[in-house]
């Protein structure tokens, strides 16, 4: 097996055993990055010099029997999160030349853990889209089919990990932006409990919605990364303390899952439902207890949109007012929508989050379930040239920039942990995904449950190679 094909857990074991050096691992991953970049375009910037300095330091630490939990592991970081001395343009011409002089708290923790950050990954402008296409970095493609989107806004992160350009990517999820590319690229995407992973200091918007988390090729890798980056940070007022690791996977005979195919309002294509039902049946055959139920809510799309658009308009006020000519029409339209959200509506939407949180708390309390299982998305990755699918489950998309990811918003609004996990392929041979959503603060048990599901359903494997 090539070094770039190894998981983070495997790399850590081999590095500790001195089977290979961190510099050798980085060389292999950078060669892979070079091979896949022309077809996929997953990187906003390469940070080779920084990465080699980290890898050389890792080798010195490992030689002394020291080093953090990610010592020598190559990692990418979504462009929206600050790395001191690295341009953070967020995919926008309006932010060209902005170079922060401090790193996001999570980036600091990756550095402390010994990770070799070798690139920032592409995003749509200001991360305002579920596809990854920007005026600054162009279009990013899906390794499973380069004619299709990898999703967004952590699309570069998803494309890179799926193609083997690093085993781990740091993404961010304010409305599905980790889980969408995880679903479309056949990855594990983990959105932690809100506040568990710090995202300050940062200029990113959606400060009441975004959770930082990993995209990986296995649940074990997600757990490893989360253990390195979680916990309270002195510069992030939303950050919380909390233990996130449970050491062992769970026995499926002790697991209880609530199962909902549609949450009462979310359609899905037939091939997605077929894969979802097969995965649920496999869990039941393995001894898990399944309960058909849901939170009893209507769609939260309009609640999420009021908060996200209003916070965006405030966060990007300078760009909107002074550099509007540099913004894409889609970004301008989104910010104009935010400008039209009255203060009363924003406050009402914030209050509505309490009702959503209580509905999920009640669901878990009355069922005793470890997680709610739903599809992650109702469709496979769709072709380039669209910002959304034409229809899902035969239902036309009426709110183009919102309506196609209805399973995802509640976790952001209620601050709940959620894990996207591949469960097979659809009619076009592209990945299909299941979401596990758990009670707030249940990250350790949710990851253990996801790992059990992964063992029962099986991993998807890597995409085919013609794009190289």
Report the alpha-carbon distance of residue 15 to residue 26 in Å, rounded: 12
DSSP state of 208: T
In degrees rounded to 5, what are phi and psi of residue 22? -65, -35
The CA distance from 417 to 424, in Å, is: 22
For residue 136 the two structure tokens come to 């600054």
User: How many angstroms separate the CA atoms of 403 and 397, rounded?
Assistant: 6
* 414 token code pair: 């209620």
Q: Which tokens go with 385?
A: 């040239």
What is the full DSSP assignment across 32-86? HHHHHHHHH--EEEE-HHHHHHHHHHHHHHHHTT---TTTT-EEEEETTS--TTS
Closest CA to 111 of 154, 140, 147, 68: 68
Catalytic residues: 78, 153, 177
Report whether the peptide linkage leading into residue 399 is cis, meaning its omega lies within 30 degrees of zero: no
Residue (of 57, 101, 109, 56) closest to 83 by Cα position? 101
Are 23 and 116 in contact by the 8 Å Cβ rule? The answer is no
Please report the beta strands in 307-453, taking only residues with DSSP state E, as ranges in sequence order.
Answer: 371-375, 391-392, 395-396, 418-425, 431-437
């Amino acid at each position: 097996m090539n070094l770039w094909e190894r998981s983070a857990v495997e790399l850590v074991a081999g590095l500790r055993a001195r089977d290979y050096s961190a510099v050798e691992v980085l060389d292999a991953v950078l060669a892979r990055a070079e091979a896949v970049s022309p077809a996929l375009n997953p990187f906003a910037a390469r940070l080779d010099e920084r990465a080699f300095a980290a890898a050389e330091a890792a080798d010195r630490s490992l030689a002394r029997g020291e080093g953090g939990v990610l010592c020598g592991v190559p990692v990418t970081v979504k462009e929206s999160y600050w790395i001191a001395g690295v341009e953070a343009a967020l995919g926008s011409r309006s932010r060209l030349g902005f170079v922060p002089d401090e790193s996001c708290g999570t980036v600091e923790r990756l550095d402390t853990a010994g990770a070799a950050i070798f690139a920032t990954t592409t995003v749509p402008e200001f991360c305002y889209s579920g596809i990854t296409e920007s005026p600054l970095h162009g279009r990013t493609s899906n390794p499973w089919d380069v004619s299709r989107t990898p999703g967004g806004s952590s699309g570069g992160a998803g494309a890179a990990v799926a193609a083997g350009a690093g085993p781990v990517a740091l993404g961010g999820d304010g409305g599905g932006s980790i889980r969408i590319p995880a679903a479309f690229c056949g990855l594990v995407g983990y959105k932690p409990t809100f506040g568990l992973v710090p995202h300050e200091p940062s200029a990113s918007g959606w400060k009441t919605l975004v959770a930082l988390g990993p995209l990986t090729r296995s649940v074990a890798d997600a757990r490893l990364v989360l253990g390195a980056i979680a916990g309270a940070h002195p510069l992030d007022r939303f950050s919380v303390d909390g233990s996130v690791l449970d050491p062992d996977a769970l026995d499926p005979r002790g697991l209880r899952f609530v199962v909902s195919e549609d949450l009462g309002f979310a359609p899905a294509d037939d091939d997605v439902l077929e894969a979802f039902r097969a995965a649920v049946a496999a869990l039941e055959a393995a001894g898990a207890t399944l309960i058909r139920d849901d939170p009893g809510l209507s769609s939260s799309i309009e609640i999420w949109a009021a908060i996200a658009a209003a916070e965006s308009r405030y966060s990007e006020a300078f760009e909107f007012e002074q550099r509007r000519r540099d913004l894409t029409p889609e970004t301008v339209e989104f910010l104009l929508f935010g400008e039209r959200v009255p203060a009363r509506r924003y406050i009402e939407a914030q209050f509505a989050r309490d009702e959503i949180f209580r509905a999920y708390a009640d669901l878990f309390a009355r069922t005793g379930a470890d997680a709610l299982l739903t599809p992650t998305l109702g469709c496979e990755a769709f072709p380039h040239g669209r910002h959304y699918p034409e229809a899902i489950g035969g239902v036309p998309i009426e709110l183009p920039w919102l309506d196609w990811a209805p399973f995802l918003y509640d976790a952001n609004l209620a601050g709940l942990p959620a894990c996207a996990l591949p469960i097979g392929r659809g009619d076009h041979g592209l990945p299909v995904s299941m979401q596990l959503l758990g009670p707030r603060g249940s990250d350790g048990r949710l990851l253990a449950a996801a790992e059990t599901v992964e063992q029962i359903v099986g991993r998807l494997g890597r995409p085919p190679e013609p794009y190289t």
